[in-house]
A and B are shown apart, each in its own frame.
Chain A
């Protein structure tokens, strides 16, 4: 390695800022969502965006794909969508000299950035087609396994209000999302900017600031950041504290949670903490870095029990109590 650590940190930081700034030229009022989405991209994770229609979820993903020099595809999930429509299928081809053969026709999953729009409208069978791709970054069709091109990022959206005719994501699927981000309604000041940019006869152009290899390099840098064991122990305590039978579990968890977060949550906390540290120009991970990722990393990994569902307990409340109760020193 020819560059020093300080140079790597500075470069990482500069690229991160460049991405978020460029996305921010088109997406207004969602700075934190953009930052967390880019964090997830750099950590090699996938993002589930939840929000009411019209708040800019799909636009955000489009813009991100535009900013990054990556191959983008969009899948509109519907109840009649089949797994083969996502991963691809073998079709019969005819040789020029005669004879038939099967040729694999790649589905839209073979891209760098995949937008799975309204993912909860497809059947669980179709949803499960994403499982292998999201975790192993491979697609198996028949007896052949195909590797997906790196970087690979799935950005799924879902509408929390309209639940009729939808299929809630199974826990295994949910757990594969690095972050679950709630896209809130934009504030009034941001609404002015949105209207100015979208109701005039000009479109806000964005430039491609990063390509695939650069993103992979940033991923490598992010994983090199050292983390002290006491800080890592804090991330573990937070994860364990989401389980009702854990000694770290606060009262809300004990009462309303059936299952807590998996070890993937702890991985997400540490990786996101490292990236957060780098974006602040640090070569170490602090407790604050870990805490910054707790809400998006844990909220979808907490499975409520019947009482919690009946009383419509918000998992964010439970995570907030977890943050407040778990000690930072072991």
Chain B
């Protein structure tokens, strides 16, 4: 370096010092973020095992983190041409009191007079002072042994977990993961077969013997995929009543349960409004009647419409009606339980009773009116909620009971002002006098004595 001119030497010192500084900053960034990245990787390795994600997930994430860190290192540590700002930073770090910065400008500026002895002297002295600076101690290497060790341990554990080394993740955590892992090995064809089998059983297209055989087949298949599911199928095989009779029996049981519940609700509805209580009683009696009819019509699949009896094939429709009735009953109870609720018109037909009316809520003499009742109940409930939230004196100020969203609380008013016929100069007011406290300052400001 002795052969280099002071100008070159100054620039070189600045560039090297800047590189040291930024490399150290880059390592600091690495020390700060590497443990976080390793921790994230470890967490992903755990999650992959627990949730049964593909093994490539932690590998991809780890790779992305490494690439990001390396890119940061490269960007922060790359060599770049020195500027005045860089020289100023380096000068400040080395406490050279602006000498290196100034010398750097003179060194980097072309067209300086060759015999400028002051600038030459300045450069020479700047080089000698800069060379006395111990740049290694000024930008010491970052030592973070524990951080590196922790990062390394986390990385190793993550890799081992990902590699499937046993004992690192508790077996109970990886239960689902194991099943899912095996499930991935089940072929698409097998899955389709299973789905078709399940659909056939649910729709009742199979005979009892076929259903049993199918369930056995399913059990064998599921044993390969999930032991838990296998247990469920075992239970299903034991409990599931086979054939349409069993289905009808379940329907009857449901009806009875619903009737019992209606009776129970009736007993517990002492605090309800009279019309609601009446609706509930009516609903309970109708459900009980239907249940009794069902019992007498067993073995009579061709029951006629004239006798009011239902055919066996309408079991699903009955189930839907029962669900709608239950929902309607629930809605009635909820609406009736609202504080200060207005009386509710039970305009629905069928089970809800009431006089025949026109419109959606009219009694059409059919039991399917329950769905309409549900819609009306919902609408009424909304109205009741909105009505109860408007309380005179609390959130509304006027007698007109408009919706809350329409309430206006503005206190602005308009005053009618008489417009003068014309400007009268003689009646113009004089400007405000200058306050005494500011008079001296004003005089001093505008009148120079």
A-to-B contact residues, CB < 8 Å: 1, 4-6, 124, 166-168, 224-231, 282-289, 306, 309-310, 328-330
Contacts and interface: CB of A to CB of B under 8 A. Distances in A.
B448 interface: yes
Contacts of A226: 102, 106, 116, 118-119, 122
Given A5-B117, A283-B121, A328-B88, A167 B101 contact: no
B441 A167 contact: no
* Closest CB pairs A-B (n = 10): A286-B98, A228-B105, A5-B121, A284-B102, A228-B102, A283-B122, A230-B84, A284-B122, A226-B118, A226-B119
Contacts of A287: 98
A224 B118 contact: yes
A329 B102 contact: no
B417 to A, nearest CB: 34
Given A231-B98, A287-B98, 16 more contacts: A4-B121, A167-B449, A224-B118, A225-B118, A226-B119, A227-B102, A228-B106, A282-B99, A283-B121, A284-B98, A284-B126, A285-B98, A288-B97, A288-B98, A309-B441, A309-B445
Contacts of B125: 283
Contacts of B165: none
Contacts of B85: 329
B103 interface: yes
Nearest to B116: A226
Contacts of B98: 231, 284-289
Contacts of A329: 84-85, 88
Identify the interface centre among A124, A166, A329: most chain B CB within 10 Å of its CB. Answer: A329
Describe B's contact surface by its main secondary structure: helix
Interface string B122-145: 100110000000000000000000
Q: A227, A228, A230, A330: which has the most chain B beta carbons within 10 Å?
A: A228
A164 B438 CA distance: 17
Interface in B404-449: 438, 441, 444-445, 448-449
Contacts of A229: 105, 109
Contacts of A1: 117
Contacts of A230: 84, 88, 101, 105
Contacts of A4: 117, 121
A231 to B, nearest CB: 6
A299 to B, nearest CB: 19
Contacts of B105: 228-231
A224 B116 CA distance: 10
B97 A286 contact: yes
Contacts of B116: 226
Contacts of A283: 118, 121-122, 125
Interface string B78-90: 0000001100100
Nearest to A290: B98
A330 B118 CA distance: 25
Nearest to B85: A329
26 contacts: A4-B117, A4-B121, A166-B449, A167-B448, A224-B118, A226-B102, A226-B106, A227-B102, A228-B101, A228-B102, A228-B106, A230-B84, A230-B101, A230-B105, A231-B102, A282-B97, A283-B125, A284-B99, A284-B102, A287-B98, A306-B445, A309-B441, A309-B444, A309-B445, A329-B84, A329-B85
Contacts of A309: 441, 444-445
B100 to A, nearest CB: 10
Nearest to B449: A167
A286 B88 contact: no
B204 to A, nearest CB: 83
Contacts of A286: 97-99, 101-102
Nearest to A280: B97
A124 to B, nearest CB: 8
A290 B441 CA distance: 35
Contacts of A310: 438, 441, 445
A298 B256 CA distance: 99
A40 B85 CA distance: 31
Contacts of B84: 230, 329-330
Listed residue (B98, B118, B119, B121) with the most chain A CB atoms within 10 angstroms of its CB: B98
A196 to B, nearest CB: 38
A194 B378 CA distance: 97
A228 B98 CA distance: 10
A226 B116 CA distance: 9
Most buried by A among B88, B99, B105: B105
Nearest to B96: A286
Nearest to A312: B441
Contacts of B88: 230, 328-329
A306 to B, nearest CB: 6
A139 to B, nearest CB: 26
B21 to A, nearest CB: 16
B162 to A, nearest CB: 49
A329 B90 CA distance: 13
A129 B227 CA distance: 111
Interface centre among B101, B444, B448 (most CB of A within 10 A): B101
Nearest to A9: B121
Interface string B105-121: 11001000000111101
A59 B278 CA distance: 113
Interface in B53-88: 84-85, 88
A319 B118 CA distance: 32
A258 to B, nearest CB: 10
Contact of A285 (B102, B121, B445, B449): B102
Nearest to A232: B105
A283 B125 CA distance: 9
Nearest to B448: A168
Contacts of A225: 118
